[in-house]
Structure 1
Amino acid sequence: MAGNGGGGKRMKLTMMVTTEHGRLDRVITDYFDDVTRSQADKWLHAGLVTVNGRPAKASYKVAADDQIVIAAPEPTVLSAKPQNIPLDIVYEDDDVLVVNKPQGMVVHPAPGHPDGTLVNGLMYHTTLSPINGVLRPGIVHRIDKDTSGLLMVAKTATAHQSLAAQLKAKTTDREYLAIVHGNIKEATGTIDAPLGRDPKNRKKHAVVPNGRHAVTHFEVVERFGSYTLVKCRLETGRTHQIRVHMAYIKHPVAGDPLYGPKHTLPGNGQYLHAATLGFTHPVTGQHLEFSAPLPDYFEAMLTRLRYGAFN
């Protein structure tokens, strides 16, 4: 959706506010997932946004029943191009590839992230399954930009279909390590709570009554007083699942800018790492399992916590 604030063809985006939200620029970015604050500001400064038929500024306080209309430029068509980006390939054969994604790397191109993604690097490295189109070739599942760790990638359509079927059947093994706020008293636990779009903030997901079935199993690995290191095993794979579920039980992932508290561990995002990945090879039928060590910044934080920092 997000384009520039200039001329060309335009599309009309209309939103009716049902409850009071605050500043207009924040309302726009909350409502539309792929619109950044800078993009909203460009539209506002270009006079492309009206409230109740009149041009409005970013600081306008949105009220219930306001009608907001954006005459946004039509989006440019994105396409993924090969880029020589260093990749940490854990395993590769003619059918599948397992890669250890670093924190800060986006998985595939999208508005706001047209290049420099994992897909751009993978396209330079090898051929990928055509399933999922030109922006997400070979991508069977995703992890968030600031989550590190293992991803399985399909190099052929046959492999892609097999891996996707395994995810749907819940036969893959996916374990994450996370530092969370608080001291979890239980040694183990299961969070069975449906997830969907947060009705108050479209950039977030939340436990909602009519959401999609979601189950996360957790196990305490180490306690640090004010923080706990946990292992989380996904039974389902919903968007932001671990981050939302841990916040739901009042133990949000440390460093999480979206679901965690403002006072948290310093860093560049959530302390969440996809440490273990297991699946059945789509051609040989062999069970494969891989592990990725914690990133240096994650290990360094654990060392600081063991010495009593941040408690």
Structure 2
Amino acid sequence: MELFNYSIEEEGLSVEKLLRDRWRLGRKTVHELRMADAVKLPDGGRVRWNELLPAGTALSIRLPEAVSDYVPEMGELDVIHEDPHCLVVHKPASLAVHPNDSGGTGTLMNRVIARFGPYVEHVHRLDKGTSGLVLIARHPVAKAVFDRMLEEKAIRRTYMAETPGPFNKRSGTISAPIGRDRHHATRRRVSPSGQQAVTHYEVISAKDGTSIVQLELDTGRTHQIRVHLAHLGHPIIGDVLYGGHTAGGWYRLHAARLAFIHPFTGKPLDIEDTVKPEWLP
């Protein structure tokens, strides 16, 4: 069982409120932690789950063992951030985040579990051709908390792309619903019947007929940035699926930064990828 310490920062928070309201864990997970007597004081003393605790109370939380079913496979892995609860790693273009089938290999998660197993789970995904940062949970409680933060837009994701330019407006918001393209198995398109999708963009630099664009997402639809930029008339260079010109190699989209308040330490994290594609200035 994995052990970590947590300090109650505010007056009047109980273990029950911490797990259910602050971290918003599911009933099954909370019940399992209660039955395992998993939350205690650092000296091993018991704490009542509904007792309102004073600020500064230290808790020792022991998590049930969990195992991910990824097959370990050694390979190059750039770890940008590491702590007991999460990892942020760089994914190269051409490498899928996870296998499509049980027992599959040749992906980022195979490499991550080989180094950090037995439990690791990605919080979000990048398309195979997109390079950049991927957030990975190191225990099931962290996975549940980060999933909720992602859903509530508490994790800020910043991307960079290179497109044909120039743009008519240096910055703006693309709000256009995205749905499946019935004429193509994997392609998406802007569709009135699709799911809401919002992308904010800002042109950072422009030269030689191309623009470097910084983008942030309010939603996380499949191929969202690729679809929205193509819809705007600026398909990503190399993204032939959405009308971009070939560029020799993968298309030019990079997940450059992740920012969030760490749910277990309370500290702000602003993590920038130190492995940059050659097309970025």
**Residue pair 2:240, 2:246 contacting (<8 A) in 1 also:** no
1:90 is aligned to 2:80: yes
Q: Aligned to 2:257, which of 273, 276, 283?
A: 276
**Residue pair 1:128, 1:154 contacting (<8 A) in 2 also:** no
1:167 is aligned to 2:150: yes
SS in 1 for 2:241: coil
Q: Aligned to 2:173, which of 190, 193, 198?
A: 190
Q: Note the aligned Cα RMSD (angstroms).
A: 1.9
Structure 1: which amino acid aligns with 2:109?
A: V
Structure 1: which amino acid aligns with 2:72?
A: P
1:149 is aligned to 2:132: yes
Q: What stretches of structure 2 of length at least 5 have no aligned partner?
A: 1-68
Q: How far did 1:265 drift?
A: 4.8
Structure 2: which amino acid aligns with 1:287?
A: P
CA distance in 1, matches of 2:275, 2:226: 18
State how many pairs are aligned: 213
Q: What stretches of structure 1 of length at least 5 have no aligned partner?
A: 1-78, 130-136, 303-311
Give 2:241's aligned residue: 258
TM norm structure 2? 0.71
Q: Deviations over 1:216-251 (max 9, x none)?
A: 000011112521110011111111110000001111
**Residue pair 1:158, 1:282 contacting (<8 A) in 2 also:** no
Q: How far did 1:296 drift?
A: 4.4
Structure 1: which amino acid aligns with 2:161?
A: A
Structure 2: which amino acid aligns with 1:122?
A: V
Give 2:46's aligned residue: none
Structure 2: which amino acid aligns with 1:103?
A: A
Q: How far did 1:281 drift?
A: 1.6
CA distance in 2, matches of 1:120, 1:260: 32
1:214 is aligned to 2:197: yes
**Residue pair 1:221, 1:230 contacting (<8 A) in 2 also:** yes
Q: How far did 1:282 drift?
A: 2.6
**Residue pair 1:257, 1:269 contacting (<8 A) in 2 also:** no
Give 1:181's aligned residue: 164
Q: How far did 1:117 drift?
A: 0.4
Q: Aligned to 1:103, which of 93, 104, 109?
A: 93
**Residue pair 1:176, 1:231 contacting (<8 A) in 2 also:** yes
